[in-house]
Amino acid sequence: MNGEHIFRLMTLKLSGLIDAEEEVWLDNLIKNDPVVQLQWNELLNAYNPKDIDTRFARYNKKPWKAITTKNKVFTIQRALVAAAIIGVCALAASWLFQPKRAAVVQSHGIVLKLSNGETLQLSGTPGTITMAGTQFSKSGNSMSYTAGNEAPGGWNSLTVPIGMDYKIDLPDGSQVWMNSATTLDFPFRFSASTREIKINGEAYLKIAPDVNRPFIVQAGASTVQVLGTEFNVNTYDPKLLKIALVEGAIKMKAGNQELQLSPGQEAIWQNTTSLASRSFDAEEVLGWRKGIYYFNNASLHEITEVLPRWFGIAVVMDRADVGKDLFSGLVNRNKPIHTFLENLKSTTAIDYYFDKEGVLHFK
């Protein structure tokens, strides 16, 4: 799908003229493709929110005028109304989809690598596909599957790239929500005695109860065993594994230590030596599911570990001391990264810039 066609659908959506089926497709694309999401947000920011809410009704009785934004000139009429009748405004489309230093690095989308070596691209148009004796149903940013007798054994790997998230429904009724830069290894069919998966990154799990088959999660150097529960797994930092229990009960094993958690408790496995528990703030720990990363008294170094995963950009500290101060606030993945950067700049002594390679520098 080329940029001009996507831009045309965006203009139709803004003007309220988009076909229902096309709107569903576009909404899924905006949600799952970080580049398109950024361009959509920039398009929204180019107009008055009241005009968007009223479908630009005030322009129906006024002569059209050209406006200037981002040093490019285009016409609202052509971009928002005429695009539905006489085609796309090429100038606006070229502005909207031109490469930008702050743009998210394009990914290859959600990819499932089967144990037999075959790969399945899950991003794009929703639908059903059969491969390796298995039927996959994909819808927006989620999938489910039904494995037949010919489905291969072994471990399949589902990878969620930078700037995206994804949900998979397992055949036992369990659900896994995956954060960006996360890999889930799982078999097509669980054994008769146990259900086991592997997680590298961050994921929220809702496990279907089954008293005869405990659910086992291999997370880094630890093992989490459950019967039916909801919890969050974070293995981004191999030296600081975190398991936060929301509902039910889990037993965590790490090294030669073992810990039983109750709802509201978070297990911390630090430096592969120390296992302890503490209470946690659910809004803060689970905010990523809504595209929000909360930080409380965090250093800039800690905060910028999230930016590459969520926005696909490299980050450099120009001064050794720039990342030492502590901050509290949030990063919203649903908004352009400039929103966070400008808020940070306006409330601190920190400044930033992007170099010609698109690398973000703090100074």
**pLDDT tens digits, residue range 154-174?**
999 999 998 889 999 999 999
Catalogue the E-assigned strands of 51-118.
Answer: 66-69, 72-75, 111-113
Domain boundary among 63, 96, 129: 96
My answer on whether 234 and 261 are in the same domain is yes
Task: Look at the chain and report how many structural domains it folds into.
Answer: 4
My answer on whether 304 and 281 are in the same domain is no
Query: Which residue, chain included where needed, has tokens 């809702």?
Result: 206
| Nearest C-alpha neighbor of 168 from the set 153, 155, 183, 154 | 183
My answer on whether 136 and 175 are in the same domain is yes
My answer on whether 25 and 81 are in the same domain is yes
Asked whether residue 168 is assigned to any structural domain, the reply reads yes
For residue 322, the domain's CATH number is 3.55.50.30
Asked whether residue 101 is assigned to any structural domain, the reply reads no
Asked whether residue 75 is assigned to any structural domain, the reply reads yes
240 CA to centre of own chain: 21
My answer on whether 34 and 80 are in the same domain is yes
My answer on whether 351 and 335 are in the same domain is yes
Residue 314 pLDDT greater than 60, yes or no = yes
Distances (CA, A) of 39 to 20, 25, 36, 42, 70: 21, 16, 5, 5, 13
Domain boundary among 76, 96, 116: 96
Average pLDDT for the chain: 80
My answer on whether 185 and 233 are in the same domain is no
Residue 318 pLDDT greater than 60, yes or no = yes
Q: Return the pLDDT at 76.
A: 43
Give tens-digit pLDDT for 22-70: 787 788 788 877 777 877 877 777 666 666 676 655 544 444 333 333 4
Coil, strand, or helix at residue 162?
coil
Residue-number span of the structural domain to which 40 is assigned? 3-96
Q: Return the pLDDT at 85.
A: 35
Domain boundary among 233, 264, 287: 287
Asked whether residue 102 is assigned to any structural domain, the reply reads no
Q: In what order do the strands lie in the sheet containing 182-186? A: 119-121, 111-113, 156-160, 182-186, 195-200, 215-219, 222-226, 250-254, 257-261
Q: Return the pLDDT at 4.
A: 59
Q: If you average pLDDT over residues 292-297, what whole number do you get?
A: 86
- Report the DSSP beta bridge partners of residue 360: 315, 354
Q: Return the pLDDT at 44.
A: 76
Q: Return the pLDDT at 123.
A: 81
